[in-house]
Amino acid sequence: MDACTGVEKEVEKVLNKFGGINEHADRTLNELCSHIESLKKSMEEAPSQHELSAGQILIVKQAASKVKDTVQRLASDHRDLHSTVSKVGKAIDRNFVSDFASTSREEVFAGQDKVDLLNRVICQHFFRQGMIDIAEELGKEAGLQTSISNKEPFQELNKILDCLKQRNLQPALEWATSHRERLAAQNSSLEFKLHRLQFINLVEKGVNHQSEAVNYARTHLSQFVTRHEKEIQSLMGALLFLPQGLPGSPYSHLLDPYVWIEIHEVFMKDACALLGLSVDSPLSVCINAGCTALPALLNIKQVMQQRQVTGIWSGKDELPIEIDLGKEHRYHSVFACPILRQQSTQNNPPMRLVCGHVISRDALNKLSSGSKLKCPYCPVEQNPTDARQVHREIVTKVSSIFRPTYSASKESNVTSKEIASKSQQLLVELGFIRAQSPGTFCILPLAQRILYKIENIIDAELRKIGCQKLHLASLAPSSLWNKTGRLKSMDEELFKLKDRHDQNYILSPTHEEVITHLLGTAGHISHKQLPLMLYQISTKFRDEMKPRSGLLRAREFLMKDLYTFDASLEDAEKTYQLVRDAYEKIFNDLQVPFVKVEGDSGLMGGSRSEEFHFLSDAGEDELLMCPGCGKGVNSEVGFAESKCPALGKCEPVAKKGIEVGHCFILGTRYSEPLKAHYVNKDGKTLPFVMGCHGLGISRILAAAAECLSTQEELRWPLSIAPFKVCIIPPKDGSKEADAAVLAEKLGNSLSCLQGVADEVLVDDRTSLTIGRRCKEASRYGYPFVIVAGRTAACVNPTFEVFLTASGEKKVLSFEQTVDFVKDQCSNSLK
């Protein structure tokens, strides 16, 4: 196509030059006419004489000189134009060979019947373009019979298309009404879209035309309720925003100028289908295909004519040049590092250097020397931190996901009394979790993805403040709990068991005793090693008397518990503040609104306690919030006992909250009985001043669903959604089935973006309608649902992008869709 581009540039220069010459000629002739008029006026004002005076002779000479100068300037412009036009021919000769026929083995238009066929195709193309006179003249010259039936349908269609370009819908509406039965037979929505656009035109006129728009909807849109109920509801909703204007409302997409381009394409497509024609004329298809194939054919011809390859390819059924298969046909499942000669893994992924070369992470670390790295393949020096991980194209298919769906109310292991929250109802019905027994659940793949993302957010923030991750035994000796007194105080909430040696153990609900015993038996710990912050993410157990609301109050749950060890209460306060700030960043990253309140230390003990809550009517904690400053306390503490001076001076507002995080300063409550000491600078051993900080990870999942979801549909923040993008290809056998290839290409392109790798889900159940799969994707709460429907099968394909949280819809091209998802997911990483 480079050859075509070169010629196109020269033609563009001619058009620009031609336009400039026309403007210059008009300006020059206007100046000449003005000059002659002024000379004529001067001649008329002079006294009439039989002979011209010296002054009049001078005037005539000036006029003649002006005319001569004008003619010379116009002639110069025409010479420039001719020179520019001649360059077009030279560009054609330079970029193309005249012997195009040599790229084919036979002469295509050898017989008269084939020539007549070509002429008929050209005539039909001009008819379709509305150039009736040119088509008839060509038909006469070629001796073709052009009947009225050949041109009449095209004349009508082109008149309607011209009206649509001027935003006049009436002719198109009349045509659609007269062909209503035939359009319905081919499942067309053209008539509805025309009425929809006419309704939008009335809405655009403002609030004064609101009643007119309502009457129009009653008259014309009611017949389409069965097929287009949601779209009609959206149109009616737009009426509510007329007083303040649609541009800044949730319905601003209705004013998108693209709808006029879309209606033009839809009308052309459906009208051609009724006439039994393709959307593009045969001539357009052939020329486009030829322009695409010609450069490759000429290249093949040039290679095969070379002396050293003549005869080699005649007996081979293959081409002498490489043909790019395209990105969608390449397979890159494994990367083998050429430096260390090892296969990449999840922990040793391929890394792209600034220069473009790719090596494994282990090779990167081996070759790095401080802040410098020299590429092993080129002279470029760079900083190792500038290397970027290469993400493989990972697209998950809906059919491959294990997600057994159930009715929560009918599930045998769950009673109706236990279903106290919409999150449990939806998570069970849609196959995120499954009850094993009262208070215990199986976490299924979709929910596991969410938990994994929550853990990653937590890990990232805790690493920043110097926390170290470990794993503690869930099975704890009862003797440790007996020493701290919690064995008796928490007796009814503990799962207790004995081993074969009659030793007593408990399944730990928390790990204060275990971690403190670990520190107490770890040998001498210097004050220089403090603060020490150790955490784990593990399964905890609590024998709840009434487990309910699914994961919000379960007997087995996933929790992050962090334990801090300091030398003094002042140091413990600083560490407490450090962790609390990290918690706020974690909850900001989770993108779920939260509040922080004073809490009761309860059985944990200690001197300070704060809780993090998601506000929800399903919450079991009552929070007393100050309407002025926004601070609050758990009702178990009360305003009177609050340590904050701002509280207690205003009338509290009671709200329900789901506790998802808790911070405590424990003091020496556990370190003294379990003899966990450090050595201070004077060589004395003193008990640690401890803190503990918990996050209910499985509860965060359920609480996020509880707070953000509707009664029928799950909603997830972008940061923890099971998949960020769900692509819905067209149904098999539908008119837009060809768009499936484009949908697959989009999935591969999105999966290569940072922040989107392994986040693309394709609903490959193409036996189902697009509408059914869209509805299901909305129920699962995937943030971006991208549909490859009718508009994806047009000449200029576009995708419908639905933003699940807001209900907004965007119509974007392939490149715009990739850029939009990239921007949205990049913003979520900041």
| Averaged pLDDT for residues 187-199 | 86
Between 167 and 512, name the one with better pLDDT.
Answer: 512
pLDDT at 48: 61
Residue 331 pLDDT:
46
Q: How far apart are CA 144 and CA 136, in angstroms?
A: 9
Cα 39 to Cα 379: distance, rounded to the nearest angstrom: 76
What's the pLDDT at 85? 79
Token pair in block for residue 474: 């869930």
CA distances 439 to 139, 490, 508, 524, Å, are 83, 18, 16, 42
Query: Binning pLDDT at 50, 70 and 90, where does residue 393 land?
Result: low
Q: Which range has the worst mean pLDDT, 375-379, 504-508, 608-612, 644-648?
A: 644-648
Determine the average pLDDT of the residues in 119-128: 80
| Per-residue pLDDT reduced to its tens digit, 201-226 | 888 888 888 888 888 888 888 888 88
Q: What is the DSSP string of 54-120?
A: HHHHHHHHHHHHHHHHHHHHHHHHHHHHHHHHHHHHHHHHHHS-S-GGGGSSS-TT-SHHHHHHHHH
Does the pLDDT of residue 149 top 70, yes or no? no
Separation of alpha carbons 358 and 340, rounded Å: 12
| Residue 463 to residue 148: CA distance in whole angstroms | 80
pLDDT at position 280 is 76
pLDDT of 541 above 90: yes
Q: Does domain 723-829 have CATH number 3.40.50.2000?
A: no
Tell me the pLDDT band of 330, cut-offs 50, 70 and 90.
very low
CA distance 580 to 612: 10
Task: Give the separation between CA 98 and CA 89, rounded to whole angstroms.
Answer: 12
The structural architecture, per CATH, of the domain 334-389 is 2-Layer Sandwich (3.30)
Lowest mean pLDDT among 190-204, 313-327, 394-408, 413-427: 313-327
Dmax (CA) for the chain in angstroms is: 146
The neighbouring-strand residues paired with 690 are 565, 667
The confidence score (pLDDT) of residue 328 equals 44
- pLDDT score for 612: 95
Whether residue 827 is predicted with pLDDT greater than 50 in this model: the reply is yes
Strands (E), 645-688: 653-667, 677-679, 685-687
| Model confidence pLDDT, tens digit, residues 339-351 | 888 887 777 888 8
If you average pLDDT over residues 176-181, what whole number do you get?
Answer: 86
- Please tell me the distance from the alpha carbon of residue 715 to that of residue 286, in angstroms, as a whole number: 48
Query: Of 352-356, 387-391, 411-415, 446-450, where does mean pLDDT reach its minimum?
Result: 411-415
Pairing assessment for the beta strands 621-625 and 468-469 based on DSSP bridges: unpaired
Rounded CA Rg of the chain: 39
Q: Please give the CATH topology (third level) of the domain spanning 422-473+509-707.
A: BirA Bifunctional Protein; domain 2 (3.30.930)
- For residue 204 the two structure tokens come to 């655009």
CB 511 within 8 A of CB 476: yes
Most confident of 72-81, 542-551, 579-588: 579-588
pLDDT > 50? residue 743? yes
Q: Read off the pLDDT of residues 563-574 as tens digits, 9 standing for 90 and up.
A: 999 999 999 999
Concatenated DSSP letters of 584-624: HHHHHHHT---EEEE---GGG--SEEEEEEEE-TT-SEEEE
Cα(191)–Cα(172) distance, rounded to whole angstroms?
A: 9
- What is the pLDDT averaged over residues 621-627? 86
Going by C-alpha positions, the residue among 262, 401, 251 that lies closest to residue 726 is 401
pLDDT of residue 666: 92
User: Mean pLDDT throughout 481-496?
Assistant: 90
pLDDT band at 98 (very low <50, low <70, confident <90, very high): low
Q: Which pair of tokens denotes residue 139?
A: 């038909």
- Round the average pLDDT of the chain to a whole number and report it: 82
Of residues 61, 107, 212, 251, the one with CA closest to residue 807: 251
Is residue 260 classed as helix, strand or coil in its secondary structure?
A: helix
E strand or H helix that includes residue 533: strand 532-541
Confidence (pLDDT) at 150: 61
Instruction: Kindly report, residue by residue over 639-692, the tens digit of the pLDDT.
Output: 555 555 555 566 788 899 999 999 999 999 999 999 999 999 999 999 999 999
* pLDDT of residue 505 exceeding 80: yes
Higher pLDDT among residues 762 and 339, named by residue: 762
pLDDT digits (tens, 9 = 90+) for 439-479: 999 999 999 999 999 999 999 999 999 999 999 999 999 99
348 CA to centre of own chain: 28
List of residues 6+ apart from 523 with CB closer than 8 A? none
Identify which of 774, 791, 678 has the alpha carbon closest to the alpha carbon of residue 735.
Answer: 791
Residue 51 has a pLDDT of 65
Residue boundaries of the structural domains of the chain: 2-99, 163-279, 334-389, 422-473+509-707, 723-829
Pairing of strands 760-762, 395-397: parallel
Residue 168 φ/ψ, nearest 5 degrees: -105, 110
Which pLDDT does position 327 carry in this prediction? 47
Position 638 scores a pLDDT of 63
Residue 407: pLDDT above 80?
Answer: no
Lowest-confidence pick of 37-46, 201-210, 418-427, 562-571: 37-46
Per-residue pLDDT at 102? 55
Q: Is the pLDDT of residue 410 over 70?
A: no
* Token digits of residue 334: 């494994």
For residues 753-765, give the mean pLDDT: 88
**Alpha-carbon gap, residue 208 to 210, rounded angstroms:** 6
Contact 777, 723 (CB under 8 A): no
Lowest model confidence (mean pLDDT) among 140-144, 286-290, 524-528: 286-290
